[in-house]
């Protein structure tokens, strides 16, 4: 069984509910989740990309990131009310209870905090909604930090440093997957607990900003955190012919060598439902194909125990 540490299914839920649909998770995604062996996942609220590449361009009125966040939260609440088979949890203990009852379980995350603006009270609202994980940015620059799409060297703003401290105080994990390198370093300096990169791969194998250097992998290890393997084709290999489940397994092996296998996890970021350009690697086209990765991990010589750690235990440990 697998715990997926990063999922954008609430994007699809919001898009479809605003178009008049209901029971989106059950109708459109549940069978694939079960086929892939997913027992639990992190559902992220992502509203930062409001331009022409997302459905938000057609939603009125959505003047601000805060507007979009409010709409997405409302859609999520309505969807959860229709899912008796799904438990929204905050701790690994709650997740285990849900699992024992035969339910799928979900933690909540905020993917980019542009919506809070300059009011750190917004972090409290995110926490009250149920979020256990918070990213300061998506790929954009906001009042808190700069994402991977911007200047790689700028660090956190003063407000961003306050935001990280506020997350620690609330028991929220800081997620650095979309931060630039400068912001990454600042979060590590502020850490007094696990830091995670929920959906990033290795820059040594695929040199893109969204992936992590070996030094960054070791820095996350030293906090007790984890890094979740990402299926997005462009983060697996520069050569399209090598954007495969097998190559992603090599990322896992490299992480295990650099950090130790106890810091390698899953954060698949399946986004095929967002349209062209969001494809997963070959063999990992959607969550129904997750077991293909574990086939290749076994082929690379990982033991059943190591595969179980990567599949679920490592990420759940930091969510205890």
Across residues 118-128, what is the average pLDDT?
Answer: 96
Contact 223, 260 (CB under 8 A): no
Query: Does residue 71 carry a pLDDT above 80?
Result: yes
The β-bridge relationship of strands 264-266 and 227-229 is parallel
Q: Which of 287, 292, 320 is nearest to 307 (CA)?
A: 292
What three-state secondary structure class fits 289?
A: helix
Question: Closest Cα to residue 181, out of 141, 139, 225, 151?
Answer: 151
Residue 43, beta-bridge partner list: 7, 108
pLDDT (0 to 100) of residue 59: 80
CA distance 123 to 231: 29
Say if pTM beats, i.e. exceeds, 0.75.
yes
Predicted local confidence at residue 51, as pLDDT: 56
- pLDDT above 70 as % of the chain: 98
Q: What is the CA radius of gyration of the chain?
A: 18
Least confident span in 45-54, 195-204, 215-224, 264-273: 45-54
pLDDT(27) > 90:
yes
Q: What is the pLDDT at residue 50? A: 55
E strands present in the chain: 2-7, 38-45, 86-88, 104-111, 131-135, 173-175, 195-196, 227-229, 264-266
CA distance 139 to 263: 24
What's the pLDDT at 49? 67
| pLDDT band for position 52 (cuts 50, 70, 90) | low
Is residue 61 packed enough to be buried (19+ CB in 10 Å), middle (13-18) or exposed (0-12)? Answer: exposed
pLDDT above 90 for 316 = yes
Fill in the DSSP letter of residue 146: B
Q: CA–CA separation, 238 vs 292, rounded Å?
A: 21
Of 26-40, 50-64, 284-298, where does mean pLDDT reach its minimum?
50-64
Q: What is the mean pLDDT of residues 190-204?
A: 97
Compute the average pLDDT of residues 268-290.
Answer: 96
pLDDT at 264 over 80: yes
Which CATH number is 2-318's, of 2.170.120.12, 3.40.430.10, 3.40.50.10580, 3.20.20.140? 3.20.20.140
Q: How confident is the model at residue 93 (pLDDT cuts 50, 70, 90)?
A: very high
Residue 187 has pLDDT above 70, yes or no: yes
Which DSSP letter does residue 141 get?
B
DSSP string computed for 29-51:
IHHHHHHTTEEEEEEEE-----S
- The DSSP 8-state label assigned to residue 110 in this structure reads E
**pLDDT value at position 188?**
98
Q: Would you say residue 61 has pLDDT above 80? A: no
Residues with Cβ within 8 Å of residue 20, at least 6 apart in sequence:
none
Question: Has residue 57 got a pLDDT over 90?
Answer: no
Q: What is the mean pLDDT of the chain?
A: 96
Angle, helices 121-129 vs 158-170, to 10°: value is: 30
Q: What is the pLDDT of residues 225-260, one digit of tens each?
A: 999 999 999 999 999 999 999 999 999 999 999 999
How far is Cα 159 from Cα 117, in angstroms, rounded to an integer? 10
Side-chain-facing half-sphere of 276: CA atoms under 13 Å: 0
Three-state SS sequence of 216-242: HHHHHHHHCCCEEECCEHHHCCCCHHH
Give the mean pLDDT of 123-150.
Answer: 96
Compute the distance between CA of residue 4 and CA of residue 22 in angstroms, rounded to an integer. 23
Residue 206 pLDDT more than 80?
yes
- Is it the case that residue 315 has pLDDT exceeding 80? yes
Domain ranges of the chain: 2-318
**Which range among 51-55, 121-125, 206-210, 224-228 shows the weakest confidence by mean pLDDT?**
51-55
Closest by CA to 117, choosing from 69, 77, 78, 84, is: 69
């Amino acid at each position: 069984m697998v715990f997926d540490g990063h999922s954008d299914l609430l994007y699809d839920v919001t898009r479809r509910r605003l178009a008049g649909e209901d029971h989106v998770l059950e109708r459109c995604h549940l069978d694939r989740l079960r086929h892939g062996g997913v027992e639990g996942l992190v559902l992220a609220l992502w509203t930062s990309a409001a331009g022409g590449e997302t459905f938000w361009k057609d939603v009125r009125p959505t003047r601000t990131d805060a507007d979009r966040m409010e709409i997405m939260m409302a859609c999520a609440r309505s969807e959860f009310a229709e899912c008796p088979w799904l438990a929204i949890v905050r701790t690994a203990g709650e997740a285990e209870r849900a699992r024992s009852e035969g339910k799928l379980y979900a933690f909540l995350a905020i993917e980019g905090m542009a919506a809070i603006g300059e009011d750190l009270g917004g972090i409290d609202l995110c926490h009250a909604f149920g979020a256990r994980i918070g990213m300061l940015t998506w790929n954009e620059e906001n009042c808190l930090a700069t994402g991977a799409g911007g200047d790689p060297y700028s660090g956190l703003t003063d407000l961003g440093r306050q935001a990280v401290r506020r997350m620690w105080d609330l028991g929220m994990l800081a997620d650095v997957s979309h931060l630039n390198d400068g912001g990454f370093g600042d979060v590590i300096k502020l850490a007094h607990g696990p830091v995670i990169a929920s959906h990033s791969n290795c820059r040594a194998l695929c040199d893109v900003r969204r992936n992590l250097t070996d030094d960054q992998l070791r820095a996350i290890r030293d906090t007790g955190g984890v890094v979740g393997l990402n299926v997005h084709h462009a983060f697996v290999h520069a050569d399209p012919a090598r954007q495969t489940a097998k190559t992603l397994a090599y990322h896992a092996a490299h992480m295990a060598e650099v950090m130790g296998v106890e810091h390698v996890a899953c954060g698949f970021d399946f986004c095929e439902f967002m349209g062209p350009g969001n494809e997963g690697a070959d063999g990992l086209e959607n969550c129904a194909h997750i077991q293909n990765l574990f086939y290749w991990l076994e082929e690379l010589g990982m033991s059943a125990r190591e595969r179980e750690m990567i599949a679920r235990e490592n990420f759940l440990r930091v969510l205890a």
